[in-house]
Each structure stands twice: as structure tokens, then as C-alpha cells.
Amino acid sequence: MTSYLSTNQFQVLQFNNLHMTVILGLPALILLYIGTALYYVSKEKYTFAHGLCAGLSLLLTTINIVTILPLTGTLLGAGGADLFHLIHIGLGTLGYISGIGAFLTGISGIRTHIPGLVAAICWTIVFAMGYIQYIA
């Protein structure tokens, strides 16, 4: 990756990767886990708290995506992404689409766990990949 990017561009990508991972990604995951745990404790009692936590998690993820898109274009336009980045982008996209699906089914009153669990699994893997990429 460094052979295609200037040193300054690479440092900006590294800083933003840490920023997005720690500042936006970690709170989004924590909110998603808290909301999921509350739902499994008592879905009747904590439905609103579950929706609030999961909705805020989706909002933070949306902010993360909007913020990182220009840098993704720089990475992809600088000679293409390696397999690690393509998996990261693919799982992130699948998780985001599943998160939107979970949000829409939740506000419509449909009780299904699959989209939310897919989003949680994908976002957990993507978070770990982002952190590994930063420390590597």
C-alpha cells in the first residue's frame, strides 16, 4: 500500500483508521451489544432501550461510513485494495445493509433476530480488522 501512496497520504489513512475505529466504531459496537443484551434480558421491558441503543449504533456507523468514504476512494484509486481491505469493505457493507434491515423491521414491529445478529457479527469482525490493520 505504501508504494502507491505518498508518506503523507499513508499517515492520514492510518490516523483516520484509528480515529474511526476507536472514536466511532467502538461506541457503536458497545451500544449494539448493550441493546442486544437488554432485549434478551426482557424484550417487553427493554424494547425501547434496545431500539435506542441499536439506532444510535446505526447512526454512528452511518457517520463513520460518510467520513471514511473519501479515504476509501483514495485507497482504491491508488492502485487498488488488497484482499484484506476488500474483505473489510465487503463485510462492512453486508453489516450496514443488515443493520438497516434490522432497523426497518424493528420500527415496523416485525420481530426477527437475523438481520441484527448479522450486523453485529459483521461489525465485530470489521472492527477487529480495522484495529489489526492499525497496529500491524
Residue 95 contacts residue 123 (beta carbons within 8 Å): yes
Q: Which residues contact 74 (CB under 8 A, 6 or more apart)?
A: 5, 9, 13
Whole-number pLDDT of residue 1: 43
pLDDT tens digits for range 1-24: 444 555 555 555 555 555 567 788
pLDDT tens digits for range 78-131: 666 678 878 888 999 999 999 999 999 999 988 888 999 999 999 999 988 887
* Measured distance CA(86)–CA(80) in Å, rounded: 9
Domain boundaries, the chain: 7-135
**pTM of model > 0.75:** yes
Of 14, 105, 106, 94, nearest to 61 by C-alpha is 94
Please give, one letter per residue, the 3-state secondary structure of 5-56: CCHHHHHHHHHHHHHHHHHHHHHHHHHHHHHHHHHHHCCCCCHHHHHHHHHH
